[in-house]
Amino acid sequence: MTNVDYAAVEQEVRRELAHAPAGEPAMTRAVEILKARVPDYTWVGIYQLFSNELVLGPFRGKPSPHTRIPLGRGICGAAAAEKETIIVDDVNADPRYLACSVDTRSEIVVPIMRGTEVLGEIDIDSDRVGAFGPSDRRMLEAIAGVLSEKWDGAR
């Protein structure tokens, strides 16, 4: 619903990540751009999957209590287990939700894949109900693909 130019944001991430060192610097840059360009993105972070646990890497927004999430727990753990993007329009109506901030109303989690392996995921919270639609999903899945290519050195 916002006036976000999704194609421009995706292009900016592609351009910036082409020059960023792989691993943490690339993740940090992607997180910074997404948080800065999309007003509805209140909290933007990247989790890395280490064996059966998601470990919080770079993020922008208030510190989260959930720095480690077991596979299968929360929306984050569900997306990693299912290897699929999950959009939750109203987090208060989803029993899987692990609260990060009382202001959060909706969430999208996009797995970062290499083939069939989950490397990690992009997690974004919004203070607005139903903030994430097909345009967010399309852009973030494309950016997850870019992050997958820039993953080496992250683990």
Binding-site ranges for ligand SME (CB under 6 A): 43, 45, 64, 66, 69, 74-76, 97-98, 100, 107, 123, 125
Sign of the four-CA dihedral 88, 89, 92, 94: negative
| Closest distance of CB 37 from ligand SME, Å | 19
CB of 18 or CB of 129, closer to ligand SME: 129
Q: Which is nearer to ligand SME, 11 or 92 (CB)?
A: 92
CB closest to ligand SME, residue no: 74
Nearer to ligand SME, 75 or 147 (CB): 75
Nearest approach in angstroms of CB 69 to ligand SME is 6
